[in-house]
Structure 1
C-alpha cells in the first residue's frame, strides 16, 4: 500500500495524472482512426448493467436526443438523433467508443456532445454560471462510464 501511494505521488509530481497511473487513457490521449477508438479507455471491460443510469442521468442523458426501445421506462426520449435500437449491429465496438467519446470525429458537424473531451472548446463555462471555468475541465463521462455505455450499446442488436 505504501509503495502504491509513493508511486502515485511520484507520478503526480511528474505531471502524470492519477487517471494515467490507473491505466486510464486521458481524454487528450485518445487515438481516433477514422472516428473509431480501437483500444479500451480503461483496460477494464464495460459493464452494460451500469449504462441505463448513465444513459438516463449521470452526464450522458442520451435519451434527450435518442430513443431506446429496450429502456421503455426512461422519461422523455428525444428524436433529434437516430434511435439506438440495433446500434450494436450497425457499428463495431471501436466505432461506438469513438462516437460516444467524440462523435465529431465520426460525424463532422454533429450536434452530439463530446462525452470524453476536455480541451478544444470555443467558450467553456463554469456550469450555468456565465463565468469561465475555475480549473481544468472534466469530461462529461469518465472513461469507465464510456466503456459501460459502449458495452450496453453492443447488446442492442437487430
Structure 2
C-alpha cells in the first residue's frame, strides 16, 4: 500500500511539473492577429515583478521606449505607444503576443521580441566584424513575460 501511495505521489508531482513546463520560444502559437492565448508557463503572472521588469534596464526596460505613469523611472521614452490604459486597449492574449514578439501584431515595429530566439536579420561580419552568434537567448524567460503581461493588465484608464 505504501508503495502505491509513493508511486501515486511521484506520478502527481511529475504530472504537475509537466503541466507547468515552459513553452519554448519557437513553439509559441500566434493567432492570425498576433494573440497568444495560452500562458507560456501555466502559472499566473505577478504584476509587481512585471513592474520591476518593465522598469529595470538589465531586464525588459519597457520604459526606455514607452511612457508608463505607474512606474517611477527617471527616463521614459516616446518611441513606442504610451502604455497607460494598455489593459483597456488590448486583451491579455494580445498583450502576451505583443510582449513575446510585437512583429506578429505590428509589422515594421522596432520593438524587440522579448521571447524570441530567431530568426533574426543580422548585418554579419562583413558589416560590423562582430556578428552575433546564430543562437541568441530570449531577452525574458516565459515567467517574466507572464509577469509583464500581468502588470500591463493593471494599467487601466483612470
TM-score by length of 2: 0.79
Deviations 1:98-126 (A, max 9, x none): 0000000000000111001001101288x
Q: CA deviation at 1:89?
A: 0.7
Task: Report the RMSD for the aligned CA atoms in angstroms.
Answer: 2.4
1:113 corresponding residue in structure 2 = 112
Separation of aligned partners in 1, 2:154 and 2:123: 34
Quote the residue 1:90 is aligned against: 89
Match of 1:137 in 2: 136
SS at match of 1:140: coil
User: Structure 2, unaligned stretches of length 5 or more?
Assistant: 1-9
1:99 aligns with 2:134: no
Taking the TM superposition and a 5 Å limit, the aligned residue runs for 1:32-71 are 32-33=30-31, 34-57=33-56, 58-71=58-71
Scaled by the length of structure 1, the TM-score of the pair is: 0.79
Give the deviation of 1:82 after TM superposition.
1.1
| Distance in structure 2 (CA, Å) of the matches to 1:124 and 1:114 | 18
Moved over 3 A (4+): none
Q: Following the alignment from structure 1 to structure 2, what is the Cα–Cα distance between the partners of residues 39 and 120? A: 22
Aligned length: 137
